[in-house]
Amino acid sequence: MSKSDPNAPKRLALITSKGTLDWAYPPFILASAAGAMDWEVGIFFTFYGLTLLKPQLTAAVSPLGNPAMPMKMPFGPEGFQNINWPMPNILMANVPGFESVATTLMKQTFHNKGVATIEELRQMCIEMDVRMIGCQMTMDVFGFKREDFIKECEIGGAATFLEYAADADVQLFI
Amino acid sequence: MTDVIKEDQVLDCSGMLCPMPVVKASKAMKELQSGQILKMVATDPGAPPDMEAWSRQTGNELLRSMQEDGKFVFFLRKK
C-alpha cells in the first residue's frame, strides 16, 4: 500500500541518532530545507540524538573518532586560516580540554562562513511545524523526563516513527 | 537585451549558507500574493541549483536566475 492521499505533500522522515555538534547539523539542515519546499517533515530523536531536544543545546564536537576533521583556525589572515594544521588525531583526541577548543573553533568557523546555529535551525523547524518525536526508550534508559525536553516535541517509540515513515517519500538515518 | 522584471519584494540573503537562502525565500514568499514577484539575492554558490530545486518542488516559478556584481540574483513568481 502506498500513500493513502495522493494529493498529500511530499514527506521526509529522519532518524537522528547522534548528539554532537557536527552531527546535529544534517538533520536540522535537511528538515528546514524540506520544510521550505512545503514538505511534511518528521524527526525521530533517539539515543544520543535525543539530547538535541533539550531547551539548552550543549552539543560539542570532538576530534576523537573524527580523523578526517580539518584543523583550521577561524581567525587571522586568509593564508593563516587556510593552513590545515598537521596535528595527529591521536594527539588532538587525547589532549584534555581539546574538545572544548575544537567546539569553539567549529562554532566560530561556521559563524564566520554564514552558517546558522543549531539553535536557529531548530527554531526554523519548529516554526515550520516539523514533527519532532523524542524516543521514549532512550528517555527510560538515560533517565530523562518529559520536562527535560522542549514543549514542541512529542514522545513516542519505534512504532510511532515507523507509521509516519511508512508514508514518507524520503527516509534517512543520521 | 533581456526584459526588466519588476519585483514586489526584495530579499537579501548575502553571506548566508545552506539552507538559509531557501528557508528565507520560502518565508518571504508566504507573505506575497499569488502572481507577485520576489527578487532574492545570495552569495552562496550552492544557491542557483538549490533555488531551481526549490522552485520545482514548490511550484513557484523561477523567472530568472543570473549573476550580478558577483552575486546570484533570482526572480521568483508566487504560484
Residue B1 lies in a domain: no
In this complex, which of A29, A37, A124 lies closest to B58 when CB atoms are compared? A37
Residue B58 lies in a domain: yes
Residue B40 lies in a domain: yes
Residue B43 lies in a domain: yes
Q: CA-CA distance, A122 to A55, in Å (whole number)? A: 10
Determine contact, residues A122/A28, Cβ cutoff 8 Å. yes
pLDDT band at B30 (very low <50, low <70, confident <90, very high): very high
CATH code of the domain covering residue B30: 3.30.110.40
Q: What is the number of domains present in chain B?
A: 1
As for the ipTM of the complex, it is: 0.87
Domain carrying residue B43: 9-77
Q: Is A1's pLDDT higher than 60?
A: no
Q: Which of A49-53, A93-97, B49-53 has the lowest mean pLDDT?
A: A93-97
- pTM to 2 decimal places: 0.89
In a mutational test of the A interface, the residue from B31, B41, B57, B74 whose CB has the highest number of chain A CBs within 10 Å is B57
In this complex, which of A36, A38, A113 lies closest to B19 when CB atoms are compared? A36
**SS3 state of residue B43:** coil
Residue B13 lies in a domain: yes
Among chain B, residues having any CB pair with chain A shorter than 8 Å are 15-20, 22-23, 25-27, 44, 50, 53-54, 57-58
Q: What is the mean pLDDT of chain A?
A: 90
Q: Which of A60-74, A120-134, A156-170, B23-37 has the lowest mean pLDDT?
A: A60-74
Q: CA-CA distance, A95 to B5, in Å (whole number)? A: 58
Q: Which of B10, B18, B23, B66 is catalytic?
A: B18
Residue B2 lies in a domain: no
Residue B3 lies in a domain: no
> Which grid cell is B70?
558577483
Residue B4 lies in a domain: no
Nearest to A102 by CA among A113, A82, A87, A119: A87
Q: Is B24's pLDDT higher than 70?
A: yes
Q: What is the 3-state secondary structure (H, E, C) of chain A?
A: CCCCCCCCCCEEEEEECCCCHHHHHHHHHHHHHHHHCCCEEEEEECHHHHHHHCCCCCCCCCCCCCCCCCCCCCCCCHHHHCCCCCCCHHHHCCCCCHHHHHHHHHHHHHHHHCCCCHHHHHHHHHHCCCEEEEEHHHHHHHCCCHHHCCCCCEEECHHHHHHHHHCCCEEEEC
pLDDT tens profile A102-147: 899 889 988 998 999 999 999 999 999 999 999 999 999 999 999 9
Query: B13 catalytic, yes or no?
Result: no
Residue A12 C-beta-side C-alpha neighbours within 13 Å: 25
